Amino acid sequence: MAAQAGVGVASLVSRNEKTILPEWVELQKKAGILHTGRISEGELQSQSRNFLHLLHEALTQGGTDTSGAAYEPARAMLADLSRTRALQGFSPSETATFIFSLKQPLFNALNRDGTLSAEQIASTVSTSTALLDELGLFTLEIFQKSREEIIVRQQREIAELSTPVVKLWEGILALPLIGTLDSQRTQVVMENLLQTIVDDEAEIAIIDITGVPTVDTLTAQHLLKTVAAARLMGADCMISGIRPQIAQTMVHLGVELNVISKASLADAFAVALRQTGRAVVKTRRIEGFALPGKKSGGQDA
């Protein structure tokens, strides 16, 4: 029965391919697919032609069972299409329109076809509706999945991007943290920092949390873990860039960071230089201020 219905739809498609295709493309254009500028008309034409062809083959071979092997090429093509559209930034409905807009041309063709009895028309309509709905849902599912993949990938990239370890001086590292600290990120941060401590033989690591929006007890715990691990490796840790509100919140929460903490990265860096036995010295006096009688060399600030 199913195979028979499939053959019915298939023959309908093959008999009316010449009229269905332009109508279908026209409908898609009317839905505004081309206005987005993400796809050219030629591309749309070839995608539609391809799919119609694959659908026809699948219908003749595998009936209406869309999960069957005969639909493999058609499904692959749809998956590819929705993945591409997800990447190109199409909306879900724009993507689903590709399949759903095929219904109208199909029914038009059915109406024009004089050879079929009323009963045959009814069964063909119900079969093709069910078929296209299934394919439409499949398209949406793939679309959703691709979007989720994109989100996961971006999350990973953000995590990697936001945890650079910067070498400030020989033996002094800085770790400017940006964004919320969760357990997963702390793990990445910690591993990065510890590995760099080994590679650079660093004595002091400054963790700068200017870019951390909130510090709660959990974040503080993560920070302390990182500090403790760095200490075990033989490096001293400092925390800098605690903003006034955060300092207040931390005190209210009863969070205590038992490490050297400085208001700014510059202060922490100065301490680090002192601890490693270095000092910053001004090498040139600004002439205009030091010697008012002399003509300034044009370099004073």
Partner 1 sequence: MDRIPILKFGNALLVTIQVDMHDRLATALEEDLTSKIVAHNSRGVLIDISALEIVDSFIGRMLDNIAAVSRILDADTVVVGMRPAVAITLVELGLSLTGVKTALNVERGMALIHDRLAGSEADDADDQD
Q: Which is nearer to partner 1, 27 or 189 (CB)?
A: 189
205 binds partner 1 (CB under 8 A): no
CA 266 centroid distance within chain: 34
171: alpha, beta or left? (left if phi > 0; alpha if psi -120 to 50): left
Distance CA 17, CA 285 (A): 86
241: alpha, beta or left? (left if phi > 0; alpha if psi -120 to 50): left
223 binds partner 1 (CB under 8 A): no
Residue 285 φ/ψ, nearest 5 degrees: -80, 145
Distance CA 52, CA 10 (A): 10
190 binds partner 1 (CB under 8 A): yes
Rounded least distance, CB 87 to partner 1, Å:
37
232 binds partner 1 (CB under 8 A): yes
Eight-state DSSP code of residue 175 = E
202 binds partner 1 (CB under 8 A): yes
CA 20 centroid distance within chain: 37
259 binds partner 1 (CB under 8 A): no
Residue from 15, 30, 156, 231 that binds partner 1 (CB under 8 A)?
Answer: 231
Could you tell me where the DSSP H helices lie in 101-216? 103-112, 118-161, 183-200
Residue from 230, 237, 238, 265 that binds partner 1 (CB under 8 A)?
Answer: 230
Residue 112 φ/ψ, nearest 5 degrees: -70, -25
Which of these ranges, 76-84, 110-118, 139-147, 221-229, lies near partner 1 under the rule CB under 8 A?
221-229
233 binds partner 1 (CB under 8 A): yes
198 binds partner 1 (CB under 8 A): yes
175 binds partner 1 (CB under 8 A): no
Task: For residue 13, count other CB atoms closer than 10 A to its CB.
Answer: 22
Q: Which is nearer to partner 1, 81 or 230 (CB)?
A: 230
Residue indicated by tokens 């595998």? 62
Residue from 228, 251, 263, 291 that binds partner 1 (CB under 8 A)?
Answer: 228
With CB under 8 A as the rule, give the number of residues binding partner 1.
18
Which of these ranges, 70-78, 152-160, 225-233, 272-280, lies near partner 1 under the rule CB under 8 A?
225-233
Q: Token pair of 199, please?
A: 């590679």
Which of these ranges, 49-57, 83-91, 199-207, 275-283, lies near partner 1 under the rule CB under 8 A?
199-207
- List residues near partner 1 by CB under 8 A: 190-191, 194-195, 197-198, 201-203, 225, 228-235
